[in-house]
């Protein structure tokens, strides 16, 4: 262990990494650099500085990465309409490559020879962090305390924290362990406690960003989203930065009970896991993006994107953001977004996002003269369809004659 001189710790100030900070000092006897990323978790981050200082940390990084997070990670992912296993909008998954990237940058800046994270040995995040580390810095050393120590439960972590005078926030009112939570500008997730029984309904007071659909306003709210090259650039006519867009969509969606999800997912490490998620802004964004693509994308391009999307989503979920195959797919996806320009109108009502209008003055492929049910003035020759159908039925007609049963 003596060959580790300096470690950059991804420090969230929560229970796990607060214990890890002290554990690294005691176990490795090395210098610690703390790195806390502001990616929109909505919490005051200065306690990260004071808590680290109390433990003798001299190099403390607290970086505002909100705009980079949405611009360079969330928006590119949403251009692909990425959903994992039909439901999950990848809120935790997409944050890990950015944190890993900045952690490696800090390791280079400070001359650190190792990095450390608070992901457990049962979860996906250990894979996501470490694949990112190695892709960006092949020779970096990685310390994953959950794979080394004997603090194998949250109760043991709480006991360790109490024994070493480490303050722990948000202890459950009954004295048990808090939820395992992760928040950023895209979502907030919940695991543990009653959620470990898939048959039990989540406690209503668990949710933090959204009201229940039953408690949402009785009047709908209408939003106009303007897209440029597949990204939202304005809401209700007001230009916004990527982080501002997502922040406002979260506020509006949460007010109307949009974006709650209760999911049992298949982790990359092999087990099934039950988690709950709030992704109000992302839910609106996905619905609106598919709507603007519906009038601006060529049919076969749109279908190709849909074919590739599950593979792309799995790459992100499994931690392969920095892989050559994800980069190659991103190049294709971004190329499809050149003409994804225009506006979409959505209505938010009691947990629902309803598309009620969409248009693109410059790039719409929708031609009312051809699709109309009224007289099209010869724009479309309906008699052409007979030959089209006969040719497409030819193989089935041949087979039916040969094998009538």
pLDDT tens digits along 185-194: 999 999 988 9
Whether 191 and 274 have beta carbons less than 8 Å apart is answered as yes
Give yes or no: residues 196 and 286 share one domain.
Answer: yes
Q: Is residue 374 part of a domain?
A: no
Indicate whether 354 belongs to any domain: yes
Q: Decide: 302 and 339 in contact? Cβ < 8 Å.
A: no
Indicate which residue of 12, 66, 79, 125 is catalytic: 125
| Known catalytic membership, residue 113 | no
The single residue of 116, 180, 189, 210 carrying the catalytic annotation is: 180
- Residue 371, domain member (yes or no): no
First vs last Cα of the chain: how many Å apart? 73
Contact 210, 284 (CB under 8 A): no
> Which backbone phi and psi does 117 adopt, to 5 degrees?
-135, 170
Residues 119 and 197 in one domain: no
* 30 and 16 fall within a common domain: yes
Residue 154 sits in the same domain as residue 252: no
CA-CA distance, 320 to 39, in Å (whole number)? 20
Asked if the model's pLDDT at residue 57 lies above 90, the reply is yes
Residue 376 lies in a domain: no
What is the rounded distance in angstroms from the CA atom of residue 193 to the CA atom of residue 199? Answer: 13
Q: How confident is the model at residue 319 (pLDDT cuts 50, 70, 90)?
A: very high
* Model confidence at 89: pLDDT above 90: yes
Q: Report pLDDT digits (tens) over 131-150.
A: 999 999 999 999 999 999 99
Higher pLDDT, 145 or 178: 145
**Strand 114-116 with 6-10, pairing:** parallel
Residue 2 confidence (pLDDT): 58
- Give the range of the structural domain holding residue 49, as residue numbers without chain letter: 6-79+92-178
Q: Which of 129, 157, 178 is the last residue of a domain?
A: 178
Last residue within a domain, chosen from 341, 359, 377: 359
- Indicate which residue of 12, 16, 189, 326 is catalytic: 16
When pLDDT is averaged across residues 54-72 and rounded to a whole number, the result is 95
* 96 tagged catalytic: yes
Q: Do residues 275 and 350 both lie within one domain?
A: yes
CATH value at residue 189:
3.90.1260.10
- Quick one: which of 359, 379, 360, 361 has its CA closest to 369? 379
Residue 179 has pLDDT above 80, yes or no: no
pLDDT, tens digit, for every residue of 346-366? 999 999 999 999 999 999 999
Q: Does 105 share its domain with 202?
A: no
Q: Do 189 and 174 belong to one domain?
A: no
Please give the tally of structural domains in the chain: 2
Q: Is 180 designated active site?
A: yes
Q: In terms of domains, do 145 and 293 share one?
A: no
Is residue 202, in this structure, part of any structural domain at all? Answer: yes
* Whether residues 50 and 75 fall in one domain: yes
In a domain, 398, yes or no: no
- Kindly state whether residues 163 and 41 are assigned to the same domain: yes
Using 50, 70 and 90 to split pLDDT, how confident is the model at 172?
very low
Among 18, 66, 93, 96, the one annotated catalytic: 96
- Among residues 178, 201, 225, the one where a domain terminates is 178
Contact between residue 250 and residue 185 where contact means Cβ atoms under 8 Å apart: yes
16 is catalytic: yes
| Rounded alpha-carbon distances, angstroms, from residue 332 to 29, 111, 307, 312, 391 | 47, 37, 13, 11, 32
Residue 386 has pLDDT above 90, yes or no: yes
Q: What is the pTM of this model?
A: 0.94
Residues 67 and 201 in one domain: no
Residues 159 and 207 in one domain: no
């Amino acid at each position: 262990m003596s060959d580790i001189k300096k470690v950059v710790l991804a420090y969230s100030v929560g229970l796990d990494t607060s214990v890890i900070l002290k554990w690294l000092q005691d176990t490795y006897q090395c210098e610690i650099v703390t790195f806390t990323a502001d990616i929109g978790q909505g919490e005051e981050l200065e306690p990260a500085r004071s808590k680290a200082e109390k433990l003798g940390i001299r190099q403390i990084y607290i970086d505002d990465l909100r705009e980079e997070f949405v611009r360079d990670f969330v928006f590119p992912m949403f251009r692909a309409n990425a959903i994992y296993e039909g439901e999950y909008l990848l809120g935790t998954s997409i944050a890990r490559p950015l944190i890993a990237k900045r952690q490696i940058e800090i390791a280079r800046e400070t001359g650190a020879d190792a990095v450390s994270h608070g992901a457990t040995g049962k979860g996906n995040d250990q894979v996501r962090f470490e694949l990112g580390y190695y892709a960006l810095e092949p020779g970096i050393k990685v310390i994953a305390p959950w794979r080394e120590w004997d603090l194998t439960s949250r109760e043991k972590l709480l006991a360790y924290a109490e024994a070493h005078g480490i303050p722990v926030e948000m202890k459950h009112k009954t004295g048990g362990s808090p939820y395992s939570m992760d928040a950023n500008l895209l979502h907030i997730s919940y695991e543990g406690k009653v959620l470990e029984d898939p048959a039990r309904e989540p406690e209503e007071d668990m949710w933090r960003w959204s009201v229940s659909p039953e408690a949402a306003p009785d009047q709908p709210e209408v939003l106009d989203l303007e897209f440029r090259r597949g990204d939202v650039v304005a809401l209700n006519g007001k230009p916004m930065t990527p982080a501002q867009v997502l922040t406002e969509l979260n506020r509006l969606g949460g007010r109307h009970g949009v974006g709650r999800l209760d999911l049992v997912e298949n982790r990359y490490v092999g087990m099934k896991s039950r988690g709950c998620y709030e992704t109000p802004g992302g839910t609106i964004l996905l619905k609106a993006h598919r709507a603007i693509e519906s009038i601006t994308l060529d049919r076969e391009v749109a279908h190709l994107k849909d074919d590739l999307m599950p593979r792309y989503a799995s790459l992100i979920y499994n931690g392969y953001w920095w892989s050559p195959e994800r980069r190659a797919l991103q190049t294709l996806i971004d190329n499809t977004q050149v003409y994804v320009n225009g506006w979409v109108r959505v209505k938010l009502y009691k947990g629902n996002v309803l598309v009620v209008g969409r248009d693109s003055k410059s790039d719409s492929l929708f031609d009312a003269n051809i699709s109309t049910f009224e007289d099209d003035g010869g724009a479309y020759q309906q008699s052409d369809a007979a030959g089209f159908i006969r040719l497409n039925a030819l193989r089935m007609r041949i087979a039916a004659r040969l094998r009538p049963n």
